[in-house]
Amino acid sequence: MKKTFMFLMIAIGISSVAFGQTPTSKDSKVEAQIIALEKAGWEAWKNKNAAWFQTNLADEALQVGGAGVLNKSQIVKTAGTDCEVKSFSLDDFKFLMLDKNSALIAFTGKQDGVCGGNTIPAKVYSTSVYVKRGGKWLNALYTETADQGTPVANQSGSSAEQAIRQTMTELFGALNRGDADAAGRIYTDDYQIVAENGKTTTKAQRLDAMRSGALRSSVAFDNLRVRQYGSTAIATYRVTGRSNALGTEQEINSLATVTLINNGGRWQVVSSHLTKADGN
């Protein structure tokens, strides 16, 4: 269930201590059941088996990924229809029992194939939330982050724009869930952002603020335009939503100019400059 990968999940801030807990025998049994379900979901996606998702997703299920946010009916309708998956594997599972009727797993997914004519990211980090309803475990939410961004070698024109759009989608997803590690893979080491008030923030400062919780956001971008100059690209777009920095919440309605580079086969963000949109 996904344009880039399958099956529902959401990045939830769970401490490494919690993931390091030794599961009880009861938890181990649930863990085995849920891992088996996750693998079955990926197999159903590979085989375009929409009926599996109809039966094994919670009614409120959501998929969050490169295709945006899809609800259950959209997932069932589109299950793998525009994808040709040759193979996949799931490993490095981490399990946490949230309560007796809900559990979470995080894992690494690898896949070979295409969706919508675009190569699927070879490696993603995924998280799934499951809920127990009527004695049966159901997948309720899925999200994923690509490990290496979107390959861009030999891209030009619309294909490069699609790759950059995917990179920005992954970045905004990381910002909204407070995933500093995922954002850090997209920013170059010398990244900096210039805010509307002229204040400059470095990559290290921005990621530290995300990790501490001092910076939280719920933002989206639209009206993306891309101009490519060889291995460099300039992207402009509008940013809207809300941001909370050091306890002060504010509405965001800005125009962004972002510089990206093709660094070893992936787009990374070098700098961002924000300007208040008209009416602010």
Please state which of the ranges 4-18, 28-42, 85-99, 179-193 shows the lowest mean pLDDT.
4-18
Q: Is the pLDDT of residue 17 over 50?
A: no
pLDDT tens across 42-91, in order?
999 999 999 999 999 999 888 866 555 678 998 998 886 778 889 999 99
Task: Calculate ∠ Cα 173-175-180, nearest 5°.
Answer: 110
Q: Is the pLDDT of residue 8 over 50?
A: no
Alpha-carbon distance of 259 to 267, in angstroms, equals 10
Q: Give me the amino acid identity at 252.
A: I
pLDDT confidence band for 151 (50 / 70 / 90)? very low
How big, in percent rounded to 5, are the helix, strand and coil portions of the chain? 30, 50, 25
pLDDT confidence band for 186 (50 / 70 / 90)? very high
Q: What is the per-residue pLDDT for 107?
A: 87
Question: Which residues is 257 bridged to in the sheet?
Answer: 236, 273
Q: Is the pLDDT of residue 157 over 90?
A: no
What average pLDDT does the segment 238-264 reach?
84
Q: What is the per-residue pLDDT for 127?
A: 81
